[in-house]
Amino acid sequence: MKNIITLLGILFFSQVISAQKINDDFTGKWKAPKGAIIIVTKTADSFIGKTELEKAVVLKDVKFANGKWKAVVLNPKEHLVANCELILEPGKLKIIVRKGILHKTIIWARQ
């Protein structure tokens, strides 16, 4: 019983630590897995991410709703658009992309 309580406590605190907050700040430079640098800036009511070189929009409509950061991620080269959830962690941005029943996690590193 003691082990179960300890396990539940660890799970609870890990959720509290990784909980998303409305005051999360995504602004700055991020390095995508394939090496592209993405510059995220704040707009009037959301955030937008553009590639540093091509200025192509790759992240838009970043908004906080129902306790989560939601956005649209784009891959202009492959003409792909998908909904995603953003989770800001120390030094990295976890992007969970969902397209139908499939999902993929992409990690951007803060520069």
- Ranges of beta strands (E only) in the chain are 28-31, 37-42, 47-51, 57-65, 68-75, 80-89, 92-99, 102-110
Give per-residue pLDDT as tens, 63-108: 999 999 999 999 988 899 999 999 999 999 999 999 889 999 999 9
Confidence of residue 7 (pLDDT cuts 50, 70, 90): very low
Confidence of residue 4 (pLDDT cuts 50, 70, 90): low
Ordered DSSP codes for 32-63: -TTS-EEEEEE-SSSEEEEETTT--EEEEEEE
CA dihedral (93, 74, 50, 23) in degrees, to 10, reads -40
pLDDT exceeds 90 at position 27: yes
Q: Give the three-state DSSP class for 4.
A: helix
pLDDT exceeds 60 at position 11: no
Give per-residue pLDDT as tens, 29-74: 999 999 999 999 999 889 999 999 999 999 999 999 999 999 999 9
Residue ranges per domain, the chain? 22-110
Span 22-110 CATH architecture: Beta Barrel (2.40)
How much is the pLDDT for 12?
46
